[in-house]
Structure 1
Amino acid sequence: MASSKRRRRARSRISKNSLSRIPIRLNVLMGIVILMLAALGMQLVKLQISQHDKFVAQITSNSESTETEKVQRGMIYDSTGKVIVANKGSKAITYTRPKSVTTSDMYHTANTVGNHLQVDTKTLSKANYAVYYIQDDKRRAKVAAALKNPLPSGSDAYIAQLEAYVQKHEAKFPLTKNQENKAMLYQKMANAYALSTVYLKETDVTDKEIAEIGERQSKMPGVKVGLYYTRDYPNGTAMKSLIGSVSTSKTGLPDSSVNQLLSQGYARDDSVGTSYLEQFYEATLRGTKKKYTVTTNGKTDKTTKTTLYAGQAGNNLRLTVNSKFQADVQKILEEQMPDGLTQGAYAVIINPKTGAIYAMAGSYRDNKTGEKTSDPLGTINRSFPVGSVVKPAMITTALLNNVITTTNNTITDVPIKIAGTATKASYFNTDGSDSIALDIPTALKMSSNSYVMQLMLKMGGLTYHSGMSLTGLDSNVWNKMRNGLGLFGLGQMTGIDLPGETSGVRGSTDSDHTGNTLDESFGQYDTYTTMQLAQYAATVANGGYRVRPHVVDAILSRSAHSSKSTVATSIATQVLGTVGWTKAERDLIYEGMYQVVHGSGYATGTGLKDLTPEVYAKTGTAETTTDGEDTYSSTAISFVPNANVAVAVAIPGISSQTSDSVSIPMSHAIWKAFWQDVENKGSSTK
């Protein structure tokens, strides 16, 4: 009993002590809360009373942002100063995305603009359709009600769930035509990044739209009336297939390079060169955007612009191409191109001393329909076997490899009979009845296949005899031939200032193709482009240095305050290599090419004999197959020594029944046009 009483007294003491401590803790907590409330109250008084004016001033103070404005793209002139590509400006409605703007802000702006501006909605994406749709509270609730397992509302995942559902069930959530118009405007705005400018509407903007937008710009943050420039061709579009194309605000930046261009400061709807000259010289033509600050007065909501940089229109280009001559050459190719299986006709006219291109024309022919298409770029991206036109370079290669000399170069033309291969012979000596001794000039005049095949065998360590085997032929002869031809540009990238150039196709050199070394020696194996033929002709004509061809003569800079141009950069002559022959070796090649035109007997280029100044030339015929039928390529290179012009012509896929002199009449017509259009120094004919 006594112990029971002691336990009750102990519990009583513990209970009293606990109760006595609780009020103390509560008092401490209450004190802390009171202090915090007092501090908050004091801060509230400070904000609303002592600092009231400061914050009101901040709210009503000016806000400032930096924006950019597009400039005109550079113009393009031909060699005579004629405008080939200009710019045409039209009224447009633009949107410059503010630095800090929410999707809700853009939604409201798009809705306001959409009441006064109609745009094409064909490119409205499903994603932006959905984003726009759920911006409205009632429409968002409708979508949410349709979800079976909605995620927690308000989260990013929830918004993504709503958007995905609308995209998948778009028919359930229709927009009116007016709403689709506003959704399209929203999409255009959303595609802009901060402070960049995009076009909301760049063509067919009505006066009413301009007036209504202009009157309400203060209610449409970032929306302005501006100018949209498109490429214009005041002298026709004949050269557009050489000049290339520029993207529009509708097509946007090319998918293949969009990320790279965005990193360089382009907006998604900026114009950018997408092909040929427009693409190659994009950095020159694009210019530098105008930059300015826009200050908005917080009290009056009025904005003022301060120019930071006036902008610089793109630099102009002056071409080496004479547009009239280009058109005339194109016409010659199209009119003189044979029918049948012919696949096209191509020509390049070049200045051998500088590499300047006077004309590069081409016409591709569909040999099934006969339809012809302008194809000047075919001169750099279409290649084919070119035949005997390579013989001056092949004979030079033999001279450089010391298998013949300027005083010891006579070889008898005979049919070449190699064990295991078909007999190969010159066209004038197919059966061996006209086997004659030839030196370099005569071999070129008569276009002897046998002569260059025997040179190839000598470079490969063999001497020809009937029925011989090629087993002991040095396989390095492939490199010797290709390196020698490459000194003139054959089989090499020419380096022209245009994208898309090909170096041609090189045939296999394994042991199963040893016999093709014979074909390689007279242009029947590897394939070459017409531009390579032109570079080759220029190298022979200028005495032996290979120049880089170019179609731009100069870059012309433009002042921000003037439309006048001054030469900023002249394209200098660039020598890519030299042949390394002696004057005596070169003179033998010249004599042979002179005889091709002015010789007698088997001379293959006498159709150019009446031209003045006197022309030197080499023709070529390469056997090919087209659609299972025998065809051939007809080629020719020609030049006037010490003159500023050389001509290369190629016509692939000609039906075997057609005369093999096709390249000579074309060359003749081109020479006449050159003296008339470009240089009035020749009488064209004697």
Structure 2
Amino acid sequence: MRRAKVKSLETINRQTLRARINIIISVIFFLCLILIFRLGYLQIVQGDEYQEEIENAQYVEINQSVPRGEIYDRNGNLLVGNESRPAIYFTRHRNMNTSEIMDVAVELSEYIQMDIDTVSLRDKQDFIINNHPDEVSALMSDEYTLLQDGNISRADFNEEFYNRADEAFVDDILSEEDLNTLGIYVEMVNAPELNPAIIKNEGVTEEEFASVNAALDDLEGISTGMDWERYYPYDNTLKTIFGEVSSPDEGLPREMLEEYLAMGYSRNDRVGKTYLELQYEDVLRGKKEQVKYSTDKSGKIIGQETVESGEPGDDLYLTIDIELQLELEELAEHHLSSLRELAEDVNARDAVTGSIDYTIIPEYLDTVLLVVQDPNNGDVLAMVGKQINEDGEIVDFHYGTLTSTFVPGSSIKGATVVTGYQEDVLEAGEVMLDEPLRFSGDRTPRTSFFNRNSQIPIDDQEALMVSSNVYMYKIALRLAGFEYAEGMSLPHDITAAGQKLRNGMNQFGLGVSTGIDLPNEARGLSPDFGQFPANNYLALSIGQYDTYSALQLSQYVSTIATEGKRMELNLAKEVRGSNANDEGPVLKTFNPTVLNNVSISDDEWQQVHDGFYDVFNTHDQSTDRYGTGWDAYHELEPKAAGKTGTAETFIDGNDVFNQTYLGYAPYDDPDMAFSVIFPNMPYTIPFFPAQYFGADVVNKFYEIEYGQEEKQPFDYDLDWFYPQLEYGDY
């Protein structure tokens, strides 16, 4: 009998392991086979569909509530901020037709009320055509029959309807619900694809916001969020200088459309339109959120992913001191209204007494302009413009400080003297006779205001103090290669001399850009010398021909204050990163820039400075001659220096004066400079006492900046001024 074979335990374990491995391999093989079949199915059968979905997923830069940077004054006071407000948005998916949009508008109209003022007659007519066929056919029964028979086209039928359906007709048909739906539809139908458009962002109530939020699942393409608008803590103060931002409906301004599109903007982006908002658009604009949308084959949005979060714009800090600005605005209003009232009171008293012989038209006295700056670095500390409108109300005219130019009069004589030094036709301290100048062909002699008949020897310093016209005329003649001689003919060719004199003005900032960081700065008028070139050339030397702005005059007097260092004027002080709770980090500082240096000797500068000091502070008792600004300025502390000017001009054929007052303080180490223009003042002698405004400006500056004792503004008194007009003297 044979013995059975017995497998060892080791053999059994080995066979079991082998069987298990074979099973696992079979399962893996089977799974791989399934995967291969599945991949093949996806690639071959559904490949085109998935490729289309991939292509439909794209990056879209959207314009949704990215606040602009804020604007602050030099001390961190908020001037322009952002105010959040709830908003209803609509995102139009690809291939969404007008019928689908109307369906959404109808649904949304149940939750919000729209302002329908922007709905046009054409919008209403189209709505009636599409939604009220019975009313349309009743109005146009004959045309409707022709349309049904195919004898006229739909376009011709609609055109006829547009001509016949007037406002009364459409308003009689459309209900309030219709108009509300139409208001929503008009906003939605203009929305670009895949870019959230604001449907309503003004007056969204809490109830509307909450009800729309609750119904979002049923409102295709509708979403809620926060929008912003600019607000101004100081109301209209400097609002024109800050500039405007386009609305969500307006988007890119038409006149700058191509430029902005080339820079990567979208058509509905909100951008700066004017002044600082425009000038610093790149700083204030912020960074829009980037979103990746996924759409299905029909173009509907099926998902979105934020790729890059939006960031608010950087904050802009200005050189403006808002406290000083507000105080000077109040002063400007006081002086402007008081001078207008003084002119009216003078007329009223003269109607009784008949004792003065001037034509005074108070309505012409309607404007004052003021600029205050730091002469050492070009910082504009305040820019004030005020006007009296036709209703007698005082309104802001701040932008007039850079956009309006005027003939300034004698205030620019410092530049004439310096040009004489530079062209080697005048020496420091040189004495010339102030005398009536009699040229061949003149009917009357040309004189200075302070001296009508005599021959008075004066030097350059005193010529500035008493504002000698004759001294400036003689400098101008020398620039043209002539010495004055009684009865001489005026030079015929003043082309080269005129260019020298204008170059001399330009180096102080007169007739050229000040470099201010604002668009639309006026350069002033420098016209051809015309039919009477020599006469106009001489007028230029005393500030009676070319025109300049308050900003230019401020830069001019600041250049004198700093002994020839013409600083670029600037409003931007620094850029800081946005920080909701505190000042952000400094990203950029706008450093002072010297545009040019006016080079003359120390002795020559001393003559000019002493002359400007004398204008405000000196009464020469030996001659009883006063500086032209002595009355208003000689009691100032600290002592100031400057120059006054009075230019003859016309309105409607009537004589008027432009009065200008320029200065700086302290006279020996200035930290402030100012320019004042009162255009179109009454043509009287003595001049209307507008110079006191400049003195009040200096007092107010040292009160605000250094805590100096407050002083009351000048009080205009008819009983004090009227007798001076009666006697024609000061």
Residue identity matched to 1:76: I
CA distance in 2, matches of 1:144, 1:570: 73
* Alignment RMSD (CA, Å): 3.5
State the Cα deviation string for residues 167-221 of structure 1 (Å, max 9, x = none): 3343477544323322222221232222222211111112332233223323333
Matched residues, number: 630
State the Cα deviation string for residues 255-295 of structure 1 (Å, max 9, x = none): 43455545655566543333322232223222121122345
The answer (yes or no) to whether the contact 1:193–1:267 under 8 Å persists in 2 is no
Whether 1:602 aligns to 2:599 is no
Match of 2:687 in 1: 660
* Residue among 70, 75, 90 paired with 2:70: 75
> Normalization by structure 2: what TM-score?
0.78
The answer (yes or no) to whether the contact 1:623–1:633 under 8 Å persists in 2 is yes
Residue identity matched to 1:183: L
Match of 2:485 in 1: 465
The answer (yes or no) to whether the contact 1:244–1:273 under 8 Å persists in 2 is yes
Match of 1:386 in 2: 408
Match of 2:704 in 1: 677
Q: Report the Cα offset of residue 614 of structure 1.
A: 2.2
* Residue among 636, 643, 650 paired with 2:661: 636
Identity %: 27
State the Cα deviation string for residues 387-424 of structure 1 (Å, max 9, x = none): 111111001111111111226x2211011222233422
Q: Report the Cα offset of residue 515 of structure 1.
A: 1.3
Match of 2:143 in 1: 146
Matches within 5 A, 1:491-530: 491-530=511-550
CA distance in 2, matches of 1:151, 1:558: 64
Unpaired segments ≥5 residues, structure 2: 1-39, 341-361, 620-624, 713-730
Matches within 5 A, 1:490-639: 490-558=510-578, 564-600=583-619, 601-606=625-630, 607-639=632-664
CA distance in 2, matches of 1:494, 1:118: 51
Whether 1:347 aligns to 2:370 is yes
Unpaired segments ≥5 residues, structure 1: 1-46
CA distance in 2, matches of 1:197, 1:563: 31
CA distance in 1, matches of 2:100, 2:570: 51
Residue identity matched to 1:381: T
Q: Report the Cα offset of residue 321 of structure 1.
A: 0.7
Matches within 5 A, 1:126-205: 126-129=121-124, 132-133=127-128, 146=143, 164-171=159-166, 174-205=173-204
Q: Cα–Cα, structure 1 residues 295 and 329, in superposed 2: closer, same or farther, change >3 Å? A: same
Q: Report the Cα offset of residue 122 of structure 1.
A: 1.6
State the Cα deviation string for residues 45-103 of structure 1 (Å, max 9, x = none): xx999987879989999975645223111111111111111111111101123244333
Q: Cα–Cα, structure 1 residues 492 and 684, in superposed 2: closer, same or farther, change >3 Å? A: farther
Q: Cα–Cα, structure 1 residues 620 and 148, in superposed 2: closer, same or farther, change >3 Å? A: farther
Q: Cα–Cα, structure 1 residues 309 and 681, in superposed 2: closer, same or farther, change >3 Å? A: farther
SS in 1 for 2:577: strand
* Residue among 440, 453, 456 paired with 1:419: 440
CA distance in 1, matches of 2:149, 2:671: 78
CA distance in 2, matches of 1:521, 1:443: 13
Most deviating of 512-521 and 377-386:
512-521
State the Cα deviation string for residues 228-255 of structure 1 (Å, max 9, x = none): 2111223443232332333333555544
Matches within 5 A, 1:311-460: 311-337=310-336, 338-339=339-340, 340=362, 341-366=364-389, 370-406=392-428, 409-421=430-442, 422-430=444-452, 432-433=453-454, 435-460=455-480
Whether 1:110 aligns to 2:110 is no
The answer (yes or no) to whether the contact 1:76–1:316 under 8 Å persists in 2 is yes
SS in 2 for 1:455: helix
Match of 1:27 in 2: none
The answer (yes or no) to whether the contact 1:672–1:684 under 8 Å persists in 2 is yes
Q: Report the Cα offset of residue 501 of structure 1.
A: 1.6
SS in 2 for 1:454: helix
CA distance in 2, matches of 1:358, 1:121: 44
Matches within 5 A, 1:196-275: 196-249=195-248, 253-258=252-257, 260-261=259-260, 264=263, 270-275=269-274
Q: Report the Cα offset of residue 513 of structure 1.
A: 3.6
> Normalization by structure 1: what TM-score?
0.83
CA distance in 2, matches of 1:305, 1:519: 71
Q: Cα–Cα, structure 1 residues 630 and 61, in superposed 2: closer, same or farther, change >3 Å? A: closer
SS in 2 for 1:388: helix
CA distance in 1, matches of 2:41, 2:131: 35
Q: Cα–Cα, structure 1 residues 289 and 509, in superposed 2: closer, same or farther, change >3 Å? A: same
State the Cα deviation string for residues 440-464 of structure 1 (Å, max 9, x = none): 1111111100000111111112211
CA distance in 1, matches of 2:119, 2:205: 22
Most deviating of 538-547 and 122-131:
122-131
